Amino acid sequence: MTERFGHFVAIDWSGAQGDKQNGIAIAVCTIEGGPPVLVRPDRAWSRRDVLAILQDALPDDALVGLDLGIALPFADAGAYFPGWPHSPPDARALWQMIDDICASDPHLSATSFVDHAELSRYFRRHGGREGDRFRLAPEDGRGRFRVTEHHQAAMGGKPYSNFNLVGAAQVGKSSLTGMRMLHRLQPHIAVWPIDPLPPAGPVVVEIYTALAAIAAGRTASRTKITDFEALNAALSNLGSPPAKGNGPISDHASDALLTAAWLRTTANKPGMWTPEGLTKQIAQTEGWTFGAT
């Protein structure tokens, strides 16, 4: 039987300021086997570089995992921005709004969005600036979460709210910049589950690299890998040949390599595309993390 996906691409994304990003890493492997490999490991990628690859350089059987949140929390309050009359109704409208507001921001950054007079009220920003609408209740110190992030936590992950832009582990900046890119991908590529899984053609999914690390035998507190010996031990647990290299490796590169191999082990399992808790409404508004069950 022909497998739906034959190429597996994992992209460790970055929301940092500037053009070229050392925090972006791209890894690929194939259904035929072999180790995952980094794409141009000597290159500092820009977000526009990644957009160009996704638009023009993917095989039809590619599954692409992006390490970012593809939407903001919605289900907990019935809106992304409760109390604001212009809050968009679904994820695609959210992507367009972010890209429109940030049209003059260079490098697909999202500074104008989080500095917006009304929208900034929903974010926690640097300098102790916590918007008065960051929390739904006074005790919600960690901010708001999507349904899929509650599932991540139940699996041993430690998700951060996409409304939190502070701290080394925050994913809010990368998520917002990623949503600008997702808007510009239309209609080139399906983004699951906001788009239904098509019978053919490349597909983008949200990934949380900690889930791949946990599946590869790492503990929840040790999901980051910074040397080839530990990386190859984790790859072996996934049934993958070792990656080429020795000594230290950046956690961005190891995240991409390990997650590409993990996608290969999971992508063609039908149950991975029908997780418990994923409704049509959640798919259209919040999206989902591939592998969160």
| Digitized pLDDT (tens) for each residue of the chain, 293 residues in all | 469 999 999 999 999 889 999 999 999 999 999 999 999 999 899 999 999 999 999 999 999 999 999 999 999 999 999 999 999 999 999 999 999 999 999 999 999 999 999 999 999 999 999 999 999 999 999 999 999 999 999 999 999 999 999 988 889 999 999 999 999 998 889 999 999 999 999 999 999 999 999 999 999 889 999 999 999 999 999 999 999 999 999 999 999 999 999 999 999 999 999 999 999 999 999 999 999 99
Structure tokens at 219: 């503990």
Q: How far apart are CA 275 and CA 293, in angstroms?
A: 5
pLDDT in the model for residue 1? 42
Please say whether the beta carbons of 29 and 35 come within 8 A. Answer: yes
> Beta-carbon neighbour count of residue 222 at 10 Å?
11
Cα 66 from chain centre: 4
Residue closest to 5 by CA, chosen among 289, 277, 265, 282: 265
Q: Which residues contact 1 (CB under 8 A, 6 or more apart)?
A: none
The string over 62-95, giving b where at least 16 C-beta atoms fall within 10 Å of a residue's C-beta and e elsewhere, is bbbbbbbbbbbbbbeeebbbeeeeebbebbbebb
Q: How far apart are CA 228 and CA 257, in angstroms?
A: 11
Q: How far apart are CA 81 and CA 85, in angstroms?
A: 8
Structure tokens at 14: 């970055």
β-strand partners of 130: 124
Q: Which residues contact 275 (CB under 8 A, 6 or more apart)?
A: 151, 288, 292, 293
